[in-house]
Structure formats: structure tokens, C-alpha cells
Amino acid sequence: MKISKNLLLNSPLTKGMEKHLKESYEQFLSELREDVSDGETSEYLSQDFQEEFTRLIQSSDLNSYDPKKYYWLNLIDSLVETVGVLEEEEIGPELVISFFENTEYLGFILKELEEHTDPREALTDVLEIQELQIISFFMLHIASGKWEPNGPVAYRQVPEFGEGKGLFLGKENSHFPLTENLFDEILPIAGFNPAHGELMIDEEDEILAITAQHKLTQANTNHPPELIRVEQDEEVFNRQKERIAKAIDQISLLSTPLKETLFRYSSFIVPISTEEVVSYSMPVLPHYSCINLYNRDDVDLMDDLIHENGHHFLNALLEGEEELIFEDDDKIFFSPWRRSLRPIRGLYHGFLTFYWAYRLFKEVYTTPAALETFTQAEKDKISFRFIEEATLLKACSEPLEEAYKLKKISKLGYQLTQLVFDEINADKEVEAHCLEGLNEVNAKKLSQLIDDLKEKAELKLSK
């Protein structure tokens, strides 16, 4: 069977895109430093915060890019957005809830509003939390020297770093384990000395000193992503590590481009061991993937690693100077994955991230040495997933064409989607061969999928 080359990765349109995040970081940092130098202030921010921020933003510790610094700048961006809402003349509960709907502050906001707090007061309270987090995050994760705050400073743990039962702090990502009584979302930090590997926490007026146990490898595009040790149980951790290593070995066996793309955009894997939480990543935190290890088999694990890496790939692409899509909240495009109408961002992100599942399962299906490492049940699953993603991607053709005509997708953004369709069209022989080999159960599932897509798409057209 003839298999197509990876047109998306080989295209000049995506060459050098890993530099986009770095360039975006440097530009935003430069703009913030310029604003501070020009004396810009806000009546909504505390004087102490503005004075401290003026000092921190000029720090040489920020001069080089890394994922945590990129995350920190996005904390500032979120604070600026909160100030923007406070500047509105009329602020109702609906506006506040809508603004924080997809943030970690939603629960806090709902509780505040339930207690009859004025929406503006609730926003002011969130702003205070954001100020504290910006200062504490900088001092714990970015600054070179030790930190001795005047009093305990609240620090909100970031689960996406693997924080919860421990913290990974400082430039060297030193691990500070926490005892069970400290498994709190918010920690009162009393001091931090990275040189001595010591963290001080104020626990009911008693200062607890915690010593660093080990360090994480720094993000490196030439190495496989590292599993962050969240589980304290040695046996559980080793089992997680073996599973991740096996999945990475299987991906590496498939093709050099697929392996190199994974290594380039994924540096750290944070294991999730809760059934209810699916694998995910955040646009504001490049290189970190939170991967579900609870109820996913080896095929699913490969899929999750490649899928989240696809998000990192697309997020880097979106940071380029040229726009790919022009976003709004209009839910007018049919998404085959959701079987519902989505804004252009939802459709475009779905298309260019699920493409990687198509690529992964096609690579496995056409690589005998890799395919033979799986059981028959897993082989059947791989075959179906390849055909399933091919079907879903092709179902995006009409909605993407419509979006381009409506100028919701730029010329460059449209060209990237056509590279995917060109690849799918070039793989017709592989797809036909795979279709012939589907077992009866999967052939029926595919037929149901096609009927469902047709039915839901027709409902959309009738609206």
C-alpha cells in the first residue's frame, strides 16, 4: 500500500513554528515593560502590587523563554482582563459568571454571589487573589534568589504542573513533597530558599520547613517527555512510568516525524489517575500534557499523548504573526466530533488536533512491526479509529469551506486545512484496504456513525 507523506509537517507553512511561542512571549514582555516605564497604573490594582510588579517585570530572570514564564505572563493577561470588566459601567451577575465560566475562579464567584456579594465586590476579591498569585508564582517558580515575604502569602497550586501532593519549584523544578495535612488548594507560603532547597509554610502559626527531594529534567526538544512524579507510591509510579515509556517507544517506532513532533512540543507529562477527568492541556502552558492513566488502555494512551501534543502544535501555530482564524462566539458550524454547532475556534481546533489521531492510527496500521505488538482486539480498535477519524475529518470539508467563504478563516488557515485533505485523498488506497478488514462489529459502528453524521448535519442545515 502506498502511504502519503506528512504534508502538514513538510509544508513551508509550518516550518520554524516552534519559535512562535518564544517570539510571542518576548513581544508581550516588551510591551509590559514599556507600559510600566511609561508609568501606566490602574485605580483597581493595589499600590503594593503595582510597586512590586514594577520591580519584577524588569527582572533579568524573565529575559529567557520557558513554559512557566509564558504561563506567568498569561496570569498577568488574565488580571488585565479582570480589570477590563471592572471598568464597565454596569456589572451584573450574569456578566461576571460568563466571564469566569471557564476559569478556576468560577466556584469562588458562584459562592460569593450566593452570599449576596455585589458583583463588583466579587470581581475585586478575585483581583486580589490574582495579584497574590502573580507575585507568589514569580518568586516560587521564576526568581533566582530567596524569598522572605513580610507575612504568609497565599499561593494557589497549579495541578497542571503536577502540584497537589507536592510542589515543583524554582528554575530547577525541585520537588517539595507535602504531608497530607497540607494537601490544600491554597498554601500560606512563609519563605523560599532555592539555593538551600528549602520551602517554608505557615501552618497554624507554626513554620514548617520542607526540603527538596529531587529535580525534574528541564524542557528539551531532543528528548522524550518526562513523567512528573505525582504518585508517592513507588509501585504505582513505576507502573505509570512503564506505560508512558511503552507508548513513547511505540510512537517512535512508527515514524521519525511523528516522534520528533512529540519530542518538540511535549516536555512534561502530568499523570491523571481519576476516572472522571479526561486528558487535557492548556493553551497558556506549552509543553505540559495532563494524561489520564486511570481507565485508558495502551491504544488510548498513545492517542492521548499525540492528541494533546497536537494541541501544543496548533497553539504554537496560532501564535504566528499571520492570523489563521478570526474568532467570534457564533455557533454556526457543524462539528462532527460534538455532533453540534460550534464557533469557528471549536471547529478549527477539532479539525487540526484530531488530524493527529488520523495520522497516528494510519501509521500504526501501515507499520507491520508496530501493529504486531498489539493484541487482535487492539488491532481491531486501531483499524476502526483510523477509519473513524478519516470519516470525521472528511465531514469537516463543507463547514470549513463555509467558514472560509464567511471570512472566519484566513487564506493561510484555509491552506493548512487543505494540506490535511490532500493527505487524506492520497491515502484512499490505505483507507479502502482498512475498510475491507473491519470486523462485523466495527463495520456496524461505522455505518451508525455515518448515518448519525448525516442526520445531525441535516438538522443543522434545516435551521
| Helical (H) or strand (E) element with 186 | strand 186-193
Q: How confident is the model at residue 102 (pLDDT cuts 50, 70, 90)?
A: confident
Same domain as 358, residue 246: yes
**CB of 169 within 8 A of CB of 198?**
no
Of 136-140, 307-311, 369-373, 380-384, where does mean pLDDT reach its minimum?
369-373
Residue 463: pLDDT over 60? no
| Helical (H) or strand (E) element with 271 | strand 266-272
Let me know if residue 13 belongs to a domain.
Answer: no
Let me know if residue 257 belongs to a domain.
Answer: yes
Q: What is the pLDDT of residues 184-226, one digit of tens each?
A: 888 999 999 999 999 999 987 789 999 998 777 666 667 899 9
Q: What is the pLDDT averaged over residues 160-166?
A: 90
What SS3 class is residue 410?
coil
Q: How confident is the model at residue 385 (pLDDT cuts 50, 70, 90)?
A: very high
Give the pLDDT of residue 221.
62
State the pTM of this model.
Answer: 0.93
Same domain as 270, residue 194: no
Same domain as 157, residue 86: no
Q: Give the other-Cβ count within 10 Å of 396's Cβ.
A: 25
Same domain as 356, residue 421: yes
Same domain as 55, residue 97: yes
Q: State the virtual CA torsion across 233, 234, 235, 241 in degrees, nearest 10.
A: 110
Give the pLDDT of residue 259.
93
Same domain as 295, residue 366: yes
Instruction: Mark which of 163, 196, 220 sits at the end of a domain.
Output: 220
Give the rounded percent of residues in the chain with a pLDDT score beyond 70. 97
Q: How confident is the model at residue 3 (pLDDT cuts 50, 70, 90)?
A: low
Q: What range defines the domain where residue 186 resides? A: 144-220
Same domain as 365, residue 297: yes
Q: What is the pLDDT of residues 115-131, one digit of tens each?
A: 878 999 999 999 999 99
Residue 449: pLDDT over 80? yes
| Per-residue buried b or exposed e for 180-198, using 16+ beta carbons within 10 Å of the residue's own CB | eebeeeebbbbbbebeebb
Same domain as 152, residue 132: no
Question: Using CA atoms, how far apart are residues 304 and 324, in angstroms rounded to an integer?
Answer: 25
Q: What is the pLDDT of residues 327-378, one digit of tens each?
A: 998 999 999 999 999 999 999 999 999 999 999 999 999 999 889 999 999 9
Residue 275: pLDDT over 70? yes
Total count of domains within the chain:
3
Of 29-43, 73-87, 112-126, 419-433, where does mean pLDDT reach its minimum?
112-126
What is the number of H-type helices and E-type strands within the chain? 17, 11
| Helical (H) or strand (E) element with 292 | strand 287-292
Same domain as 113, residue 31: yes
Let me know if residue 6 belongs to a domain.
Answer: no
**CB of 127 within 8 A of CB of 82?**
yes
Residue 103 grid cell: 476559569
Q: How confident is the model at residue 238 (pLDDT cuts 50, 70, 90)?
A: very high
The end-to-end CA distance of the chain, in Å, is: 43
Contacts of 407 (CB under 8 A, 6+ apart): 326
Same domain as 297, residue 243: yes
**CB of 346 within 8 A of CB of 332?**
no
Same domain as 441, residue 318: yes
Same domain as 112, residue 160: no
